Amino acid sequence: MSAPDSEITNHGAENRTDGRSSASGFTPIRNRALRVAAVSTGLVAPSVMEGRLVLAVIFGIAVIAAAVAYLPTTRVDDIVRRFRSPLPSAVTITMALWFVSLLAGINLEWSLFVWSSSAGLLIMAGLLHAAFERENWVEPLLLRALVAGSLAFAVAGTLATLIWPVLLDPAGVRGIVSTQVARFALKGYGSLVPCLIFAVLWAGFRLGGGWRTLAVLYVGFGLEIVYLADSKSGMLGLAISIMVLATIWVGLRLRRWMRRLFVAALIVAVGAVMTVIVMALPKPLSTESVVYRIPSELVDRHRQVIWGFVVQNGAKAPIFGHGPGNARHLPLAKLGVAGAGRHVPSHPHNWLIQIFAETGLVGLASLLAVLFILLGRLVLAAGRGETAGWAGIGVTAAFFGSWLVNFSFWAAWWQTAYLVLMVAILGSIARDARADARAK
């Protein structure tokens, strides 16, 4: 990279850093709207702590403000150009294939709802990315909001789990009346903490100065919340992200031919582990007694039953699946196994298994292709020495790592939190790439 990360306002001399004008020719009103959008976007993921309603309001403000700032100055050919790039094209193809699964599914209305929700979130995230991408002066606002907001919410969350639960429910609508309830309420946020750790550390060190200290402080408070909330999915996400980052760090230091062998070996190893796990899952639909081959210390019996049931049903519709969101509507889903629980209480608790059962091998392969393109872009940036690339890898690995055991794939708040973090990271990579190209 041609400039230090701390010098984020120096990339692109044609852009002012005070927000009064920009290379895009925005009016003062649109610049103010963009400032609101940037600050709101930085606060979206940290606000998960205060509940989904707060997150939805902040995200809505960010999207509306970005639309006011960006859409009046946008030409149709610019939108078409963006969709032609590899990542948006892959996402569009994936959504189209999932729509086919929707039409072939077992509950059209529900599938249409969850598919439309994800499609809408992707469009709104794309709007935020497009609005911020070429405005260098916006980035410091977004990153400061992310660092300060994350630390403030984390401090409040820590205090809520220890002495003041009201901090998580100031309006008294969430039923958080004790520190014990507060700890349980923070389990979802605990899953997001590893993602925020990588994003906040990157943002703090990119801003420089005292922001670095605030970012490091957040790590301490965030990890404490993971511990107090006993968020096992958060711990898993952090462990997987560290392993992925270490693996990529090693791979980037190998010669090209060794790197190819290294990647091939990793793919074979991951595939083998996944195959062994799937083969070891119980088969609740069989006439034989349910057998648990995976130690319950690693995967609890209820999750084993859920995964086994969903995999068995997925095998009945292997091409396009049963439709997005329909694992809960599978025949016999509300029945269960004695001593374990329902076959599917609400969702499969594993994004790989869920996407396979609901969109088939075609939908799963398309999603994996999107992740491959995204990670390829992030790895290339990391290889150039850009910290945003490493942050993106860490956020993505933590997100999909914890997603192996926690929420539904279609959980809107979970998707939103990830998308806004990637808006900041991918926008930074794009701006730095243009700055480096001009410097050459």
What φ, ψ does residue 264 adopt, rounded to 5°? -60, -40
What distance in Å separates the CA atoms of residue 78 and residue 12, rounded to the nearest whole number?
20
What φ, ψ does residue 424 adopt, rounded to 5°? -65, -45
CA dihedral 60, 66, 68, 70 (to 10 degrees): -150
Examine residue 418 and state whether it is found in any structural domain, yes or no: yes
Examine residue 155 and state whether it is found in any structural domain, yes or no: yes
Examine residue 291 and state whether it is found in any structural domain, yes or no: no
Q: Tell me what pLDDT residue 288 has.
A: 67
Please tell me the total count of domains within the chain. Answer: 1
Q: Tell me what pLDDT residue 339 has.
A: 65
By residue range, what is the domain housing residue 20?
A: 8-262+348-439
- Has residue 7 got a pLDDT over 50? no
Lowest mean pLDDT among 9-23, 188-202, 314-328: 9-23
What φ, ψ does residue 365 adopt, rounded to 5°? -60, -40
Q: At what angle do helices 108-133 and 86-103 cross, to 10 degrees?
A: 170
Examine residue 307 and state whether it is found in any structural domain, yes or no: no
What distance in Å separates the CA atoms of residue 41 and residue 280, rounded to the nearest whole number?
43
Which of the four pLDDT bands, split at 50, 70 and 90, describes residue 23?
very low
Examine residue 274 and state whether it is found in any structural domain, yes or no: no
Kindly report, residue by residue over 38-73, the tens digit of the pLDDT: 999 999 999 999 888 999 999 999 999 999 988 877
Tokens representing 272?
A: 């083998």
Examine residue 324 and state whether it is found in any structural domain, yes or no: no
Examine residue 100 and state whether it is found in any structural domain, yes or no: yes
Length of the chain counted residue by residue: 440
Q: Tell me what pLDDT residue 178 has.
A: 83
Examine residue 140 and state whether it is found in any structural domain, yes or no: yes
Kindly report, residue by residue over 362-392, the tens digit of the pLDDT: 999 999 999 999 999 999 999 999 999 999 9
